[in-house]
Structure 1
Amino acid sequence: MCDTDARLEGKVIVVTGGSSGIGFETAKNLAKRGARVVIASRNETKLKLARDNIKEATGNSDVYYRLLDLGSLKSVRNFASETLSYEKRLDVLINNAGSVGLPDTLTADGLNLTMQVNYFGSFLLTFLLLPMLKSSAPSRIINSSASSMYIGHLDFDHWNDIGRYNFITALANSKLAETLFTAELDRRLKGTGVTANSFDPFVVKDTDILINAPEAIKEVSKFFINLVGLKKEEVGQQIAYIAAEPTLEEESGQHFKFCRKWLNHWLVSDTDLTKKLWEASKAAVNISNEEDWESSER
């Protein structure tokens, strides 16, 4: 569908959810271009296998893994700390990891599980890695969204409530948050050389994204996905295109689908809302004084 001849030698790229599915295919595509690629997920067995498969498929030995559980803010902080310690630069952060149909429960951090896995975790990770991304500029942040965002709603007083949202609305809310977060990133990063864009993978065949969904919905969804869905290799190529294509170096605040700029959510232009989301998110993940690099820039 889309491709680029761009080479990425000397570039460091982090791909969350990189042990399987479209994250794995994205990482493989980028490794083939010569990048140093770090894949992240919570399953070490799958990570080791994915790393070895990428190395074998691409001939690139500069592929690594680190454990990351977005459902644990401690794990996110550990991952960020390790990245800051082991990497000299960070050129692209791809927040690909996410899940559908998670249990309606709170995490150990007191946050709604779906919101934390699909949004709060990536918000915290991005916030902690932003100083490195800035020092590595030009650099890129790519956040995963979905069409469900169009029916999402954010109520900051109740976004972590249990028993209020079903599996579809919980997903929609988390993806709306990720999209509005991307818009606020774009505004705050003007002039830094760091870009922030979101992407919608559409629907993808042969992934385990629906593993937690209710059985009835899973079966109907599988039929639809098999009918119109894209191959995971195709979507991985699309994400790699956004990460690598030289002509997109200055594109920011965009929403991509099928490698094209797509209709974004109408609320991305509500700066009061996106600013409120930013501050509410910092509070939700308990950004400490030591972590808050923004305070030193004021």
Structure 2
Amino acid sequence: MSDLEGKVVIVTGGSSGIGKEMVRELLLHNAKVYLTARNPEKTRNVIEELTKATGKTAIFLNLNLRPEVCQSRCGGVPLVRIASYAAAEHFSSLPGKRRVYDRCAGGRLIIIGTSQRHAMPGPSDMLTVQGYDYYFGVNVLGHFYFTKLPLPALLATEDKARVVKTSSSAIYLPLGSKILFDTLKDGQTKKSKSPMHLYGQFSMFVDVMFVLELARGYGDKGIVSISLHPGNLKTDLDQHANWSNTVIW
């Protein structure tokens, strides 16, 4: 990795797993790093650990978006909106600097759930504050919104900006090959599908389509948009998955 002096990076879910290691390497290579996570106490400890290891300090953005937090602290308004505006405003105050807008697993933005990472199959009856399917809200709507708001800053950079998102081999499964729109909200169709089906079509397939569309629409305007499969790594990503899914993946 080359020297990243003058570059700004947002790592979503940077308090553990791949996200944490990404933050470590970025700090070691002189990037200005914003670390998003949902657990302030845990994240403060992680930042202290990384500061001791690298001599540099990441900046914490709190993205705790559990329903009870949203309802009690911001009247049901998704906190990602607040954090996204803050990020966009900060980027706008840094004219002329190249931005690297990074998403990594262990490193994926989480809107709802007990995990700050890219949500693996878990309870299929979970919904977002707005009533959408958990996986769709966490891994699609949140990612789209968090990318859309800083878009003017990404387009204003002197050099190419980057949106890097982790994907999974789940995109090659038949269950992830099309979108069943009736499963976006609660109902009989949604209840009839397994958590793995919802995960495959929402977390993986739609996310990759978004990355491709972003590249198609903004590639000639200076934004590099890519997705990648990070490989089979041991993290707590699958903490909500049953034993059979864990064995398969």
What root-mean-square deviation, in Å, do the aligned CA atoms of Structure 1 and Structure 2 show? 1.9
1:178 to 182, 190, 207: 207
CA contact (8 A) 2:13 2:19 kept: yes
The answer to whether structure 1 residue 118 and structure 2 residue 139 are counterparts is: yes
Residue identity matched to 1:202 = G
> 1:77 maps to what in 2?
81
**Structure 1 residue 202 corresponds to structure 2 residue 197:** no
- The percentage of aligned residue pairs carrying the same residue is 29
Q: Which of 77, 82, 90 is residue 86 of structure 1 equivalent to?
A: 90
Does residue 159 of the first structure (1) align with residue 207 of the second (2)? no
Contact 2:133 2:183 in 1 (8 A): no
Preserved CA contact (<8 Å) 2:37 2:43? yes
Query: What is the distance in 2 between the residues matched to 1:21 and 1:49?
Result: 15
Asked if 2 retains the 8 angstrom alpha-carbon contact of 1:70 and 1:117, the reply is: no
What secondary structure, in the 3-state scheme, does the structure 1 residue paired with 2:162 have?
Answer: strand
Deviation at 1:100, TM superposition (A): 0.7
Deviates more, 1:185-194 or 1:66-75: 66-75
1:94-130 deviation per Cα after TM superposition (whole angstroms, max 9, x unaligned): 2231111232222111111012112211111001111
- Establish whether residue 145 from structure 1 lines up as the match of residue 167 from structure 2: yes
Task: Indicate the residue corresponding to 2:113 in structure 1.
Answer: none
Q: Which SS does the other structure have where 1:27 is aligned?
A: helix
Structure 1: tracts of 5 or more residues without a match: 225-298
Shift of 1:69: 3.7
Tell me how far apart the structure 2 counterparts of residues 95 and 166 of structure 1 sit (CA, whole Å).
27
Q: In 2, distance between residues paired with 1:16 and 1:170?
A: 22
Equivalent residue for 1:268? none
**Equivalent pairs, count:** 215
Separation (CA, whole Å) in 2 of partners of 1:192 and 1:167 = 38
Does 2:94 match 1:99?
A: no
Q: Give the equivalent residue in structure 2 for 1:14.
A: 10
Corresponding residue to 2:37 among 38, 41, 63: 41
Distance in structure 2 (CA, Å) of the matches to 1:54 and 1:20: 11
TM-score (norm 1): 0.67
Whole-angstrom CA distance in 2 between matches of 1:130 and 1:117:
20
Residue 64 of structure 1 is matched in structure 2 by 59
Mapped partners of 2:19, 2:127: distance in 1: 26
Query: Aligned-pair distance for 1:215?
Result: 4.2
Output the CA distance in 2 between the equivalents of 1:70 and 1:197.
26
Unmatched runs of 5 consecutive residues or more in structure 2: 71-76, 109-117
**TM-score if structure 2 supplies the norm length?**
0.80
